[in-house]
Amino acid sequence: MRDEVRRSGCTFVNGEATKLLLTSESIESWDAFAESWNDLGADTYMADGGGYRRRRHAVFQLRRGVLLRREHQPHFQSRDYNPLNGGVQRWFEPIGATVGASILLRDLVVACGRLIAELEPGQENVHRIEVHQFRIEPHADEEAFPTPEGMHRDGVDWVCVILIKRLNVSGGTTRVADMTGKEIQALLLANELDLVFLNDRCLAHAVAPIRRMDPRRPGFRDALVITLVAHRRE
């Protein structure tokens, strides 16, 4: 992972390889962790009027390998990074206490922190970590947009997108591009714990629209997004 990120700025990791980063206790807790995506709040800030996105949000710090939850606070992106939904403080329902304190979330975030420390020697702490639970639910024959803002950067240092579950949906390829707009990677996160980790300072990313395969049945794409700011920004 480290060498690929150094070379290209990003890495795609399949779920079986991700499991090697986790403790057995984490893996055993997977079902309960994934089940929490059934209890997300509506995203009421969608400027495109879409009612297809549900989410929860929390903010953490990582200090010498210890994950510390901070007080609940809004998510903010400037319009430079999110021209569709940015420019306002967005208050989302907080990630539940059980999920926020789970060993699985801890292991995933700590794994990100270890990778950052390998890429930036001496960087033991991560100043600001935002964790987002997302569910994208297409309606009947309509498309839904995991990244309605299109190809974008998040305005952080590092981004990790982890697939939790796909049910009855097609589409959703993750694309990564450099600062000139040239696409450098494209891959479908298809299985649980498939992930992409990328350097947000030099790469942009987007996820293609999704659609129900059988419009008569429910369908969704669940993902965990972790954004990390390694250095304090005044």
Per-residue model confidence as pLDDT tens digits over 26-43: 999 999 999 999 999 999
Separation in Å, CA 172 to CA 98, 137, 178, 224: 29, 12, 19, 14
How far is it, in rounded angstroms, from Cα 191 to Cα 167?
A: 10
Q: pLDDT for 43-53, tens place per residue?
A: 998 888 889 99
What one-character DSSP code corresponds to residue 38? G
Band of the pLDDT at 123, cuts 50, 70, 90?
confident
**Per-residue pLDDT at 234:** 47
Q: pLDDT for 11-28, tens place per residue?
A: 999 999 999 999 999 999
Backbone angles phi, psi at 16, to 5 degrees: -65, -35
How far is it, in rounded angstroms, from Cα 92 to Cα 72?
A: 9
Work out the percent of the chain whose per-residue pLDDT is above 70.
96
**Per-residue pLDDT at 233:** 56
How far is it, in rounded angstroms, from Cα 206 to Cα 172?
A: 9
Token pair recorded at residue 175: 């694309």
Q: pLDDT for 152-177, tens place per residue?
A: 999 999 999 999 999 999 999 999 99
Separation in Å, CA 176 to CA 8, 28, 56: 10, 32, 24
Q: pLDDT for 215-230, tens place per residue?
A: 999 999 999 999 999 8
**Domains in the chain, CATH or no CATH each:** 2-229 (2.60.120.620)
Most confident of 65-69, 151-155, 186-190: 186-190
How far is it, in rounded angstroms, from Cα 160 to Cα 191?
A: 15
Look up the pTM and report it. Answer: 0.95
Q: Which residues pair with 170 in a beta bridge?
A: 211
Mean pLDDT of the chain: 93
